[in-house]
Structure 1
Amino acid sequence: MSKGIVSVLRFTSLRLRLVVVFALVALTAAVSASGIAYWLNREAVLKRTQDGALNGFRQEMQNRAATLPPRPTQDELRRTAEQMASGTAGYSVLLVGERDAGKPIVGASNPDEFTLADVPSSLRTAVRTKRAVTDANMFPYHLFWQRTQRGSTPYLVGGTKIDGGGPTGYMFKSLAAEKADLNSLSWSLGIATGLAVIGSVLLAQVAATTVLRPVHRLGEAARQLGEGKLDTRLRVSGTDELADLSRTFNSAAASLQKRVADMSAREEASRRFVADMSHELRTPLTALTAVTEVLEDEQDSLDPMIAPAVALVVSETRRLNDLVENLMEVTRFDAGTARLVLDDVDIADQITACIDARAWLDAVDLDAERGIVSRLDPRRLDVILANLIGNALKHGGSPVRVSVRTELSERVAGDVGTDEEPETDSGDDTWEDAPEDSPEDSRAGEDLVIAVRDHGPGIPEEVLPHVFDRFYKASASRPRSDGSGLGLSIAMENALIHGGSITASNSTDADGRVDGAVFVLRLPRDASGIARELRTRGSRGGVEES
């Protein structure tokens, strides 16, 4: 399959197309020129030969055949035919006379070579036909000729009749020598055509190299530009179209580099502003939180007119505190400083602790076996679970069901059932320095899958692609809500830093009706190998082992 793809790519390459086009143009031109040259030479050779033979035959008919008596004998016809054929013209002669009316006699110079049967009937009819003498036609009989073939040898047959009742003469000349000359000419033209095609292919290779070298450099520069090397530039030489294209590329690359630099600077300034603002807000928020805690403790003893306002202050302060914490977490992800603190975690215990800490035990059903241990960051896993379960409780409907299972990772599952030996990656530190029979071996190549399902109205189809977007809220008419629009986004970032993912979809009942939303968290059971991945991506974050 791969060889076929490579051959197709080579066949459709620009170099091959240039060579084929040059070869076709050269072949067409050479064949046309050779065909025209062959046709012209053929007509010239045949015309020269037949004109010489026919003129000589006409002269012999006038000088010898015209001197015969009106009723010649067969011997006289034969001797005259031999005399006419004895010249340098190289043709045979046949004379036809009449001994009596309606009794023709034939005299041939060489009966073994040329007989009356070799003369086409159409030529004999034309020669014997008498025409009226006019100002435009001074003779009743004319000289006619025709090319014929005996076997593989071409011949010229000509004939005429002596005016005034003389004999009718026919000549028969072989054109074998002319055919041999024309065959030699055709071979010469064929060789010339082949040399022209070969020369055009070589010329096409040179032209393709000259044209494609700048194109290759342009493609390589575009690839480097796509890889993020924005300082890539082309060397410009000449004043042709390719030089103009190189200048345009350099101009576009410089403009792109400037825009990316400006955007990076603005993005960095924006992140710095959010981070600084979040840090600056933490100090007054700490004081506000302390005050709200005191007010909340004294809320029962406050004036009923003031209690609602105090409750609102407490609620909004907590909401603001959560928003600031979320913003700080987002800035850490954007800056690449988020870190994993790995530990062996019993997933069932971790989910139970998350639910218990938030007083959700009565609203959540847990389907998880004890003893499923994964090497993850427990704090970040808690953040993911809290956001997914809290979102299900807030926007879905009870009961919320959390189920846990393990599966082969997609990479390992793709190797199952193949005939080839799986390749080992000596640089993968997911299992680096692990003992041969260590517990990590049982987790290698496995994924932890946690599904959170509610029984609410589900997620609208137009909202599904945006549920993990920052600050996205399904209802634009309710911009103020309990959430900040960052929870699911932070959950996704925490999953990604583990090398995992989160997907959202709707579940349906037997009748095809939507009966809730399902969020599926997929994480590697051992996230140790993420360290090398983070370093490869150039992240400033990392992994800490505990």
Structure 2
Amino acid sequence: MLHLRPRGSHRLPESVRRGLTFWRRSIQARVVASTVLLSVVVISGVGWYLLRQTRDGLLDHRVDAVVAEANDETASARGRLEAVTGTDADVAGQLRELAEPIIQAGDARDFSVVLAGPTGDGGRIADGGANYTRGLDTSSVPAKLEEHFDDSSTTAWTYTVIRSTDRDGVTTERPGIAVGAQVQLPADGQTYTLYYLFPLGEQEETLALVSRALLTAAVLLVVLVAGMTWLVTRQVVTPIRMARQVAERLAAGQLQERLRVSGEDDLARLATSFNQMASNLQRQIRQLEELSRVQRRFTSDVSHELRTPLTTVRMASDVLHDARADFDPATARAAELLQTELDRFETLLVDLLEISRFDAGAAVLELDDVNLVDVAHRVVDATGPLAQQRRVQVVVRAPDHPCLAEADVRRIERVVRNLLTNAIDHTSTDRAGGDIVVTVAGDDHAAAITVRDYGVGLAAGEAAMVFNRFWRADPARARTSGGTGLGLSISLEDTHLHGGWLQAWGRPGEGAQFRLTLPRRAGGVLRHSPLPLVPVDVTEPVT
């Protein structure tokens, strides 16, 4: 059985995501964290080095002291044995007389003693017969120290763990130093080994005290470094944050916002430069706004003022055009040209008025459910005479079912009409396959119309310029449709008003394709188009 994971189950908890967002956005947090981390590494290294040097120094000093003390005790024992008469053959008695003073001295000076021997076979402590301090576990003497005296008689030492049991039966373990030295017993002439076990309790306490002091100092130092870093970075980051906030308000249109300048340091100079830049931008933006307002007012006024004389000229032109049969051929031709140019001039005034509405933000939509298939057929039928004049066939490829979008049908028809007349203008009539293809498609989120022609095409970079006002790819080329040069610009504004896309593709000698994409619902966000921008019959070059 297939088990599906619920949506969002892989997402991080809200607190973690907020923390990651804060980490990404706060340079102060990153600087403080990195400084603290580096400080911890450095302080840990220095502390480890100091602690190791302190430990080695304490142990070395203790080793020297206990070896000297063991040698003194061994020398005293040898002196006592030399004072014994040669006729004394009581081995056990001499061993007791040898061990008891040392054990008593050990009880007084906090060290333990083990007397083992004789050396050779059966001379190990574990074999029994050893004299040692009461309560001491003789296994505290390391075996490697015993093995040392199998083939050497020099004094030796090593670290060990001293195990002992007190009168209450409690067993304790303490780190210590074991020192071994040999003496010869007069009673039997054999060699016995004295083991001195010195605890390291004082050194252990001293090392713990030093460790606590170093740890406390390290924690205080890290906190101090973190606080200092936070204060230093705050002095730098706070003006930057203020500049960001002011920049955001400037971008939102609050052009009067400025940074507060205090002092004469680099940050103050930066704030001064920022304020000067904001003032220059404000002045230039206001100049551009004023120029734009004057331009819009000029376009609107000229368009309106020209309508009255245009009406008068239109009336006179209609009279001349109707009476052209009574004129000589030259005058009749002039009357026809006057009528044609007046039609184009009137269309230009209408387009200028529409552009002025877009510039003034006064354009509004009359939304309705529009079937783009019907729009395509109506526009193709309306431009049929122009296509026949240019001997161009227009083909519509559309699905059988409706392709709906919530839009202003008048504006959408104007966009498609401008695209189609532009394609007719630029389609070559002296080559085969010169048909214009209008394709309609849609899906659940968007609807699109493409207009594909096989004319002169567009050179590199012209696809972005084709929607500029009065722009022409070939200035010497005549406008057979009587266009004004504003059709594609108005189409782009109409498309943006719907929240859609109007894009162009072209290649010299292979024609061009324009694509109109609209969201299915007004206010929807476009993420893709149902139709490709590059025609399917074009092979892209391999790069």
Q: TM-score range by the shorter chain?
A: 0.5 to 0.7
Moved more, 193-202 or 460-469: 193-202
**Alignment coverage as a number of residue pairs:** 470
- 2-side partners of 1:53 and 1:525: how far apart? 94
Displacement after TM superposition at 1:451 (Å): 3.5
Contact map agreement 2:380 2:394 (CA 8 A) in 1: no
- 1-side partners of 2:49 and 2:142: how far apart? 36
Distance 1:251 1:81, change over 3 A: farther
Letter in 2 for 1:520: L
- 2-side partners of 1:126 and 1:157: how far apart? 18
Letter in 1 for 2:102: M
Is 1:256 the counterpart of 2:281 in the alignment? yes
Displacement after TM superposition at 1:10 (Å): 3.1
Letter in 2 for 1:390: T
- 2-side partners of 1:353 and 1:157: how far apart? 109
Moved more, 363-372 or 152-161: 363-372
**Residue correspondence of structure 1 range 471-482 to structure 2 within 5 A:** 471-476=470-475, 478=477, 482=482
- 2-side partners of 1:104 and 1:373: how far apart? 108
**Residue correspondence of structure 1 range 462-477 to structure 2 within 5 A:** 462=460, 463-476=462-475
1:89 to 100, 109, 121: 109
Fraction of identical pairs, as percent: 26
Partner of residue 44, structure 2? 31
Tell me, what secondary structure is at the counterpart of 2:471? coil
For residues 198-255 of structure 1, give each alpha carbon's deviation from its aligned partner in whole angstroms, at most 9, with x where no partner exists.
6655666666655544443333222222222222222233455544443343233222
Displacement after TM superposition at 1:42 (Å): 2.4
Letter in 1 for 2:111: Y
Displacement after TM superposition at 1:51 (Å): 3.5
Q: Give unpaired runs (5+ residues) of structure 2.
A: 1-10, 164-172, 525-543
**Residue correspondence of structure 1 range 281-296 to structure 2 within 5 A:** 281-282=306-307, 285-296=310-321
Tell me, what secondary structure is at the counterpart of 2:468? coil
Contact map agreement 2:379 2:416 (CA 8 A) in 1: no
1:9 to 18, 21, 41: 21
2:197 to 172, 185, 190: 172
Partner of residue 155, structure 1? 176
Partner of residue 46, structure 1? 59
Distance 1:162 1:349, change over 3 A: closer
Contact map agreement 2:425 2:479 (CA 8 A) in 1: no
For residues 29-58 of structure 1, give each alpha carbon's deviation from its aligned partner in whole angstroms, at most 9, with x where no partner exists.
442454344334423433443333333333
Is 1:391 the counterpart of 2:422 in the alignment? yes
Contact map agreement 2:449 2:516 (CA 8 A) in 1: yes
Letter in 2 for 1:270: Q
Is 1:110 the counterpart of 2:133 in the alignment? yes
- 2-side partners of 1:193 and 1:89: how far apart? 37
- 1-side partners of 2:57 and 2:375: how far apart? 106
1:76 to 91, 94, 99: 94
Distance 1:78 1:92, change over 3 A: farther
Q: Which has the bigger relative contact order, CA under 8 A and spacing at least 6?
A: 1
Distance 1:219 1:207, change over 3 A: same
Distance 1:524 1:27, change over 3 A: closer
Distance 1:219 1:74, change over 3 A: farther
Is 1:61 the counterpart of 2:71 in the alignment? no
Tell me how large the CA RMSD over aligned residues is. 5.1
Contact map agreement 2:500 2:516 (CA 8 A) in 1: no
Letter in 2 for 1:296: H
Partner of residue 222, structure 1? 247
Distance 1:376 1:453, change over 3 A: closer
Partner of residue 490, structure 1? 490
For residues 135-180 of structure 1, give each alpha carbon's deviation from its aligned partner in whole angstroms, at most 9, with x where no partner exists.
xxxxxxxx543323467642212345689x9987542222245335
Letter in 2 for 1:83: P
- 2-side partners of 1:17 and 1:525: how far apart? 45
Tell me, what secondary structure is at the counterpart of 2:246? helix
Displacement after TM superposition at 1:487 (Å): 0.7
Contact map agreement 1:402 1:450 (CA 8 A) in 2: no
Partner of residue 328, structure 1? 353
- 1-side partners of 2:251 and 2:265: how far apart? 26
- 1-side partners of 2:384 and 2:45: how far apart? 91
Distance 1:237 1:74, change over 3 A: farther
- 1-side partners of 2:451 and 2:321: how far apart? 34
Contact map agreement 1:154 1:176 (CA 8 A) in 2: yes
Tell me, what secondary structure is at the counterpart of 1:68? helix
- 2-side partners of 1:153 and 1:233: how far apart? 72
- 1-side partners of 2:77 and 2:366: how far apart? 125
TM-score where L is the length of structure 2 = 0.66
Distance 1:159 1:473, change over 3 A: same
- 1-side partners of 2:490 and 2:301: how far apart? 19
Tell me, what secondary structure is at the counterpart of 1:237? coil
- 2-side partners of 1:119 and 1:493: how far apart? 96
Contact map agreement 1:236 1:243 (CA 8 A) in 2: yes
